[in-house]
Amino acid sequence: MKQVVLAFSLALAASAAFAQNELTIDLKDTGTIALPVAPGDYTIRIINVIPGKQYNVTSVISPVIEAPISIAAAKVAVTPPATPAPAALPGGPLAAAPLPPTCAQLQTDLDTGVANEDGATLAARISTDTTRASGLTPACTLNIAQACARLLALATTRFTNASTPAEQKAAIIDIRAWGHTAGCANVVTYADQRCAALLTTAQGAVAGVANETAWAAITAPLRVLRDACTGIDTYLNSIEQVLGPVSVGRNEMLTVTIVRQDNNTTWVRTYTTGRRGDWLAGYGILLAPNRDASYTSAALGGNTYQIRRNRDREAFDFVPTLTFTFMRGKDAGKDWFHAPVFGIGYDLQTISATFGYSYTYNHNFAISAGLMLHQQQRLKGKYEENEYYEKTGAILENSDLTEKTWAPNVYFGITIRSLTNPFAR
């Protein structure tokens, strides 16, 4: 395979989407790491690259694009999501009013706090009251400033009580949903400000970062907040690089080497798809129809005899056999797999060769069927069945009338895998 060296631009990764099959290289872990992968097409995502530092990447399988590597801090760009549909009628003071309320009543309802009301309920009440006010005749517009102020206070408490990045992400998602439901821009802005503050803290720590491991600790909370903060998503994509796609086939190895230019810190990741497969050896008993023919001389009187075939009541031959089958790599994790099988048998008298198809359970138990080539007893060519002959003295016995000859047969077998592989190196 040809080796390709590239310098990459992390800025180009800002718009890169996550691939379905993706190999992630985290620079917080230095040194060489080997990982197994299934054959397929992959993109390679490199994370925790320190902004402003330059890195060279070497790949041994796929060509990649050369570009400058200077990294600029990304600007925070927040795009609010679409406003969801209004919530169902909440249980506020006017929820059960028998007559359509007046605009003044709706305004009073908004300005009146409800004990133990949470943010979601208050946001739904604001949405419902403003919708009802717009439907009055004549329509009126409510002043939601006071209600939005109460909702902002609930949002502040919700975020302040969040102590972990996961809890902060949940709080931001909830607060932004409250703001959009109620139409309170100040609440949506508060959620965006929390995202911006967390991002600013991480960006401000870049200058004092000692290595990629320390940078990973700083960006770890941001990665948890992914999908909750547009600005954080944009920033993380801007400091990551996506390479590929790379096609890795069976029995191939993809090696990716990353070298930081200012201090020669090196990261090596090897991805192997494993061997093409393994030989499985087994011991089994094969059953083949008994096609041996035995003959005797029947006395007809005087010195005349007739060669007659004996009635053989043995329906099957049992042949101990050593079998071999090849398990492909893609079948290694399956409970059942099917594959061709061949074997060598010996019944204490003659050897036999077999070829067929097997169905193996969990690598150890198999059933198979196919063709067998072994020696079968037949009438000698100089004689014919039901032939008459005259002879004095000793008559012709079965051993005089028959001989062993190679002939095909069919078989059915049961095999148990042996503990050792005769093809292992």
Say if 53 falls within a structural domain. Answer: no
- Tokens coding 54: 């330059």
As a three-state string, the secondary structure of 336-368 is: EEEEEEEEEEECCCCEEEEEEEEEEECCCEEEE
For residues 207 and 296, what is the distance between their CA atoms, to the nearest angstrom? Answer: 103
The whole-number mean pLDDT for each consecutive block of 10 residues of the chain, a chain of 425 residues, reads: 38 35 86 81 87 82 34 39 49 53 85 84 91 85 90 94 93 94 94 93 85 89 90 89 81 87 89 79 89 87 86 83 86 85 88 92 90 89 87 82 90 80 50
* Number of structural domains in the chain: 1
For residues 116 and 227, what is the distance between their CA atoms, to the nearest angstrom? Answer: 30
Alpha helix positions (H), 205-229 = 212-224
For residues 319 and 255, what is the distance between their CA atoms, to the nearest angstrom? Answer: 49
Q: Is the pTM of this model over 0.85?
A: no
- Report the Cα 250 to chain-centroid distance in Å: 16
Say if 404 falls within a structural domain. Answer: yes
Query: Residues in the chain, how many?
Result: 425
Instruction: Give burial (CB, 10 Å; 0-12/13-18/19+) of 82.
Output: exposed
For residues 408 and 140, what is the distance between their CA atoms, to the nearest angstrom? Answer: 97
pLDDT of 98: 52
Contact between residue 110 and residue 146 where contact means Cβ atoms under 8 Å apart: yes
Say if 216 falls within a structural domain. Answer: no
Query: Amino acid letter at 353?
Result: A
- Tokens coding 309: 């075939």
- Report the half-sphere exposure of 89 (CA within 13 A, side-chain side): 6
pLDDT of 268: 92
Say if 310 falls within a structural domain. Answer: yes
- Report the Cα 117 to chain-centroid distance in Å: 44
Domain of residue 321 covers 277-417
State the chain's maximal CA–CA distance in angstroms. Answer: 136
Say if 301 falls within a structural domain. Answer: yes
Say if 27 falls within a structural domain. Answer: no
For residues 380 and 387, what is the distance between their CA atoms, to the nearest angstrom? Answer: 12
For residues 387 and 308, what is the distance between their CA atoms, to the nearest angstrom? Answer: 8
Say if 209 falls within a structural domain. Answer: no
Other beta carbons within 10 Å of 53: 20
Other beta carbons within 10 Å of 356: 20
For residues 241 and 243, what is the distance between their CA atoms, to the nearest angstrom? Answer: 6
- What kind and span of H or E run contains 403? strand 402-417
Beta bridge partner(s), residue 319: 286
Say if 308 falls within a structural domain. Answer: yes
